Amino acid sequence: MCSSDLKPAVESVITILVILKIRPELRQKAFDSLKYDDDGIKLANMRKGCISTEGRLSTDDKETIVILGKWATSQDFEDYMQMRMDIGYWDKVGYMFASPPIFIHLSKESF
């Protein structure tokens, strides 16, 4: 569960889909690290503005991990990403990537 106790206005919530392409032989290690390590998804869930995060392995290939995140504001997400850079997280896990992560900002409108 994320740190945000107060529910932000629906209009300000942003949803981001992150597609991680991981070297197949390291995908489970990467997934487990995100799931269990203190600097994995737990770190996102403790950040100001995090509403929810959910990660899944693709069953269509052996390299994809998908993360769906909801944040109170774009600035909260940008601050989170900057913190990841500042602590060297991407340097630590970069060797596992088959290609750079893809960040897709989703519309507020849904059906």
* pLDDT tens digits along 21-80: 999 999 999 999 999 999 999 999 999 999 999 999 999 999 999 999 999 999 999 999
Q: Report pLDDT digits (tens) over 67-111.
A: 999 999 999 999 999 999 999 998 889 999 999 999 999 998 888
The DSSP code sequence of 7-61 is PPPGGG-EEEEEEEEB-GGGHHHHHHHHHHSTTTHHHHHTSTTEEEEEEEE-SS-
Cβ atoms of residues 93 and 101 within 8 Å: no
pTM of this structure: 0.85
